[in-house]
Structures are given as C-alpha cells and as structure tokens.
Amino acid sequence: MSGTKTIYINLVSNYIVNSKACTIPESCSEVEVDLKRLDRMLQAAHRSSIDIKDSYDFYVLALKEFNKENLSDSYLYCDRAKYELTGAINDAKIKIKGSRFHSLRTISYFFKLYGLYAVIFAMLAILFFSLLIYKYSDVIILGVPLWSSFFAGLGASAQILTGVADDLRRYGLASRYKRLWYMTIPLLAMVFGYMTYLILSSGLIAQDGSSETRAFSIMFVCFLAGFLTKWLISWLSRMSRDI
C-alpha cells in the first residue's frame, strides 16, 4: 500500500510540473466541496458494509494536503480516493457468469447516498394522506375536522421530496439527516395542522369571505404548516432553550 502511494505521489509531482494546461481547481472552495461530497459517499458506503479502506486512506491524505493548502495534491488524492471507492463498489457487486449485478450492499449504498429511502417514504405518505383526505375528511374530533391534520401531513411529505430534490440539485447527493428521521416529520405535522385549525377557527385571526373561501384558506394554511414543520421544530427548540 505504501509503495503504491509513493508511486502515486511521484506521478502527481510530475503531472503538476509538466502540465501547463492543468484542470485542477485553483479555489479552496471547489476542493472543499469535493472533499465534503467524498466524505458523504464514504459514510454511505461504510454503512452499507462496503470496504472503503483504500479509498479512506487517500481521503485522509487529501484532507492533510488541503489543510496545508496544497490544493493540487489534495485534489488529486481526492480523485484517487473516488477511483478506489468506485472499485470497492464494483467489488461489492455480485458476479454471475462474467457479468456484475448490483447486490444488496450496492443498492443500499445508492439508496443512502441519494436519499431514495426518503423519496419512497414521502411518495407513499402522499398517497396515504390523499386517501385519508378522500375517505375521512368529514371526521371531527373535539370540533376539529381531521382533514386539517391530513393536509399538514401532505405538506410535510411534499417538504421531504422538495428537500431531497434541492440537495440533489446543489450537491448531487442527499444530506445524511434527510434519510431516516424524516419519517417522523409527517406525524409531527399532523399535530401542527390540528393546532393550526384551532388557532384559525378560534377567531384570534380575522378571516373575510364566504365559508367556502375560509375553508380553502384554512386547508392551505394547514398544508403550509406541514410544509414548514422542519422550520417549526427548529424554532420551538430555540424557544425551549431560551426559556
């Protein structure tokens, strides 16, 4: 392993010296983004029981060079780490008659990396809450129609999809926190939707228009409360710390 690294260091040095048209980024921010993305990839692979030892070794070297502000070496070590990770993922595939097919480990890796668990859960939640709205919209508990909670759950499910899509657009992968605990958000959103209806129907907030218009307005606000559940959780947490 050490011999391989020594050869690679020499190749890196020759490449930097001899190439005037080098495409290595000159900005710290670009290299930092690559390192953060690689870190998430390694975490997802490790949690999927994929052997990342060789890739992690080069990742550590890339971090050391980045801290020394040697951007060229850091970038090339990062690139080599990605190469080793790709090899590890290919080795984790199932080999049948000379062809490689995805195994449970590699499927788990891609699901974790791109937040596909959250996407599937959110889509199922949308179907579930849509069905509840269609079937049980007239059910009332303590004077509050349950569609208020269902619309909030629908909004929370839409927020999960929006969050994952935004991560994929900006980083090319999903943030770790958007993978498992997001499953609790629609449940919390139902509580927020219920309380939102209580506040709006109590008369504390004046509403104009016909009863039908007010009902649609409350539906929208309940949906919005569900969509903002993550923000409400953070806001309530800050309030509880300040008390």
Checking if the pLDDT of 53 tops 90, the result is yes
- Average pLDDT across the chain, whole number: 81
pLDDT band at 131 (very low <50, low <70, confident <90, very high): very high
Residues whose CB falls within 8 Å of the CB of residue 59, separated by 6 or more in sequence, listed in order: 35, 38, 39, 42, 77, 78, 81
Q: Is the pTM of this model over 0.75?
A: no
- Closest residue by Cα to residue 159 from 135, 175, 178, 136: 178
Quick one: average pLDDT of 119-138?
Answer: 91
> What pLDDT score was predicted for residue 207?
56
Checking if the pLDDT of 5 tops 50, the result is no
Quick one: average pLDDT of 88-93?
Answer: 93
For 7-22, the pLDDT digits (tens) are 444 444 444 434 334 4
